[in-house]
A and B are shown apart, each in its own frame.
Chain A
Amino acid sequence: MNNFGTLYYYEVKKILSRKLVWSVFFINVCCIVMFTCADLMGKYYVDGEVADTHYHMFQVDQDYRRALSGRQLDTALLEEMQEAYSKIPDTQERYMLTDEYQTYARPYSEIYNLFRRWTQKKELEELRAWQPDEEALYAARLETMEQLWREQQLTDAEKALWREKEAQEQENRPLTYLYHEGYTKLLANGLNTLSILVQMFVCICMAGVFTDEHTRRTDQLILSGAKGKEMVYWAKIAAGASVSAACAALLSAITFMLVFAVYGAEGFGTSLRFSAYLCSSSERFSVGQVCLIEYGILILTAVFVSVLVLVVSELLHSSIATLAVSVGLLMAGILARIPEQYRVLSQLWDWLPARFLNAVYIFDNRTVPLAGYCLVSWIAVPLCYMLAGLVMVLAGKRIYRNYQVLNR
């Protein structure tokens, strides 16, 4: 008889009945609330004096950005921006403290920041000397991208791929700016923070799924049961993977809700070119689409990491040792970095689950050459995770089947 559903139900129940699981989940929710609101808390100081609160500054900028929403990034808008910034007295070192900046320029700060990113003209004088022209701006972006591709040591095939995507995006010119603060927050550090929290949850909560049976000595009952050597293994893997996926989905949903409640949900269709965090990508997605792809990958990564932890725990037969290995790997991924000059090594290192869940790596300009095609990271890495997960699950099954209940 196929009792997989019942076994799966009880395996999930075993995981969820542990206080540890709920404690870690609750801590994760607290961390999400903190990271969402932290930027808005506290005061802004200038020369030791309180100048403003972060929340008020955010509100002011939000109003200005919303006022720009729906406008095309064309010569007219660039001229307005340049004119506004020209009113700032050029003697000031910190121009942001001037009344002129606050009154005239600040409403266009979003466009100015975009100008700086696209043209690499970082100084105010350079803007003043610049002749506003949308064609020149888009051309400058392409030039900046070419320089970046050279620095990243991209192959000719990769450069051709991204040039083609940039050319396709030209069809939509002039691009329309939309208010998208919520998505910026989700892209900038939302995903990163959440990925670490989810992986921590998985490492801590999944380390005991197999090992608890050995330490509790319930393994004797399980392994002597008709379905104990095969179906229970799959039920445990499915339970661990689905609880991890559910945790990732739930924490993602909480993050989305909180971020949208605080920063607003509008701007789903904003071109990625406007994103402060991902403007170095030539993908033709909107910020909303990128968020959906990234958070989808987060769920897949949670499943992959859970499989890794489950299999390692069955191999080591110790939840502490499993925790040490998985958290060690997580920390190494967070702390260590391999310079881009070592192209293959650094690319592989950046694929570690602890590093990959970062918008910059998911939409990396470095691709994977495969049968003459350039496979982009956001497709190649999840495929690798799936393949590696499958191999690990099959290896784990062998370890599980061969387990011997010895004297203890």
Chain B
Amino acid sequence: MKLVIDRVSKQYQNRIAVDRVSATLQKGVYGLLGANGAGKTTLMRMLCGILKPTGGTITFDGMDVSEEAYRAVLGYLPQDFGYYPEFSALDFLLYLAALKGIPKAQAKCRARELLALVSLQEAEKKKIKTFSGGMKQRLGIAQALLNDPKLLILDEPTAGLDPKERVRFRNLIQTLGKDSIVLLSTHIVSDIEHIADEILMMKAGQLIYRGNWEHEQGDLEEFYLQQFEEEGTHE
């Protein structure tokens, strides 16, 4: 199981959002850190095949990002995404299950299983328009897991979750990381410092740090903030 990101770039007219990022990811949890505008979301969108890179390639076990087979093993939770207000939670998951190519018979069981996992089983028939922000986020997490993804990309997944849910979610991610590649972006350091096997840090579209973060290296948050300060000094 290998995700290969090879010199991936994204350029908009006169701005480079992602600049020749290369990395090879294998099973495990990867924490992607970076300030707003660092290029995290752009990179994740390219990894999900919904944004075309202007340069470079992305492959998962040899499958190109543009192939249907690639998307079949992908689970994606976007940073800011919408719902169908008139759909119930179960309908929403069944629709996305169909979209991911999961057979109808299997989809219902899997949807109920995931609703239980994110503590929404009581609300499966309720319309999404009645959900709180946290409930919607949990539903978003459930949809990302529908197809037992081998590659799970989570863009700011803890936004809107209360502290208790956040802890539950971290444990879930840790479990998922044992069998798949989980790439999780956040700007909240505490979300990843204990669960990420590796830290990736982005700044101005470039990958400025990649590696394990051990206690001996000091406080990750401090290191992360230093990058901000440096950015401020440059400005």
A binds B: yes
Indicate with 1 or 0, residue by residue over B56-79, a CB within 8 angstroms of chain A CB atoms. 000000000000110110101010
**B48:A17 contact, CB within 8 angstroms:** no
**A221:B96 contact, CB within 8 angstroms:** yes
Known contacts A1-B103, A216-B83, A223-B49; decide if A7 and B98 are in contact (CB<8 Å): yes
Q: Which residue of B lies closest to A8 (CB)?
A: B98
Q: Which residue of A lies closest to B79 (CB)?
A: A220
Q: Which residue of A lies closest to B140 (CB)?
A: A221
Indicate with 1 or 0, residue by residue over A196-231, a CB within 8 angstroms of chain B CB atoms. 000000000000000000011111111111111110
**A216:B98 contact, CB within 8 angstroms:** no
**B68:A404 contact, CB within 8 angstroms:** no
Cβ of A232 within 8 Å of any chain B Cβ, yes or no, is yes
CA distance A216 to B51 in the complex (A): 18
Residues of A within 8 A of B107 (CB): 6
Residues of A within 8 A of B143 (CB): 221
Residues of B within 8 A of A229 (CB): 68, 71
Contact pick for B50, options A3, A226, A404, CB 8 Å: A404
Known contacts A221-B76, A221-B78; decide if A3 and B52 are in contact (CB<8 Å): no
Residues of B within 8 A of A6 (CB): 94-95, 98, 104, 107
**A230:B91 contact, CB within 8 angstroms:** no
Q: State which size class the interface on B falls in.
A: 35 or more
**B91:A224 contact, CB within 8 angstroms:** no
Residues of A within 8 A of B101 (CB): 1, 3, 225-227
Contact pick for B78, options A17, A18, A220, A407, CB 8 Å: A220
Cβ of A370 within 8 Å of any chain B Cβ, yes or no, is no
Q: State which size class the interface on A falls in.
A: 20 to 34
Cβ of A44 within 8 Å of any chain B Cβ, yes or no, is no
Q: Which residue of B lies closest to A17 (CB)?
A: B86
Q: Which residue of B lies closest to A215 (CB)?
A: B82
**A226:B68 contact, CB within 8 angstroms:** yes
Indicate with 1 or 0, residue by residue over B17-61, a CB within 8 angstroms of chain A CB atoms. 000000000000000000000000110010011111000000000
**B99:A227 contact, CB within 8 angstroms:** yes
**B82:A217 contact, CB within 8 angstroms:** yes
Residues of B within 8 A of A227 (CB): 68, 98-101
**B100:A218 contact, CB within 8 angstroms:** no
Known contacts A17-B84, A218-B84; decide if A404 and B51 are in contact (CB<8 Å): yes
Q: How many A-B residue pairs have CB under 8 A?
A: 100
Contact pick for A225, options B91, B94, B96, CB 8 Å: B96
CA distance A230 to B69 in the complex (A): 13
Q: How far is the CB of B7 from chain A (nearest CB, A)?
A: 20
Cβ of A14 within 8 Å of any chain B Cβ, yes or no, is yes
CA distance A399 to B41 in the complex (A): 23
**A216:B68 contact, CB within 8 angstroms:** no
Q: Which residue of A lies closest to B106 (CB)?
A: A1
Cβ of B235 within 8 Å of any chain A Cβ, yes or no, is no
Q: How far is the CB of B137 from chain A (nearest CB, A)?
A: 14
Cβ of B80 within 8 Å of any chain A Cβ, yes or no, is yes
**A405:B98 contact, CB within 8 angstroms:** no
Cβ of B223 within 8 Å of any chain A Cβ, yes or no, is no
Contact pick for B83, options A7, A10, A218, A219, CB 8 Å: A218
**B80:A217 contact, CB within 8 angstroms:** yes
Contact pick for B68, options A14, A219, A230, CB 8 Å: A230
Residues of B within 8 A of A3 (CB): 98-99, 101-104
CA distance A14 to B82 in the complex (A): 14
**A226:B71 contact, CB within 8 angstroms:** yes
Cβ of A406 within 8 Å of any chain B Cβ, yes or no, is yes
CA distance A6 to B95 in the complex (A): 7
Known contacts A225-B71, A227-B99, A228-B71; decide if A10 and B91 are in contact (CB<8 Å): yes
**B99:A226 contact, CB within 8 angstroms:** yes
Residues of B within 8 A of A7 (CB): 95, 98-99
**B103:A224 contact, CB within 8 angstroms:** no
Contact pick for B99, options A216, A217, A225, CB 8 Å: A225
Q: How far is the CB of B66 from chain A (nearest CB, A)?
A: 9
Residues of A within 8 A of B98 (CB): 3, 6-7, 10, 227
Q: How far is the CB of A24 from chain B (nearest CB, A)?
A: 17
**A217:B100 contact, CB within 8 angstroms:** no
Residues of B within 8 A of A17 (CB): 84, 86-87
Which residues 384-408 of A have a CB within 8 angstroms of B? 404-407
Which 6 pairs of residues, A with B, have the shortest CB-CB distance?
A216-B82, A225-B99, A17-B86, A6-B98, A3-B98, A226-B72
A-B contact pairs, 24 of them (CB 8 A): A1-B103, A3-B104, A6-B107, A7-B98, A7-B99, A10-B91, A10-B98, A13-B91, A17-B84, A17-B86, A215-B82, A216-B84, A218-B81, A220-B45, A221-B96, A221-B143, A224-B49, A226-B69, A226-B72, A227-B99, A227-B100, A229-B71, A404-B52, A405-B45
Question: Which B residues are within 8 Å of any A CB, using their own CB?
Answer: 41-42, 45, 48-52, 68-69, 71-72, 74, 76, 78, 80-84, 86-87, 91, 94-96, 98-104, 107, 143, 147
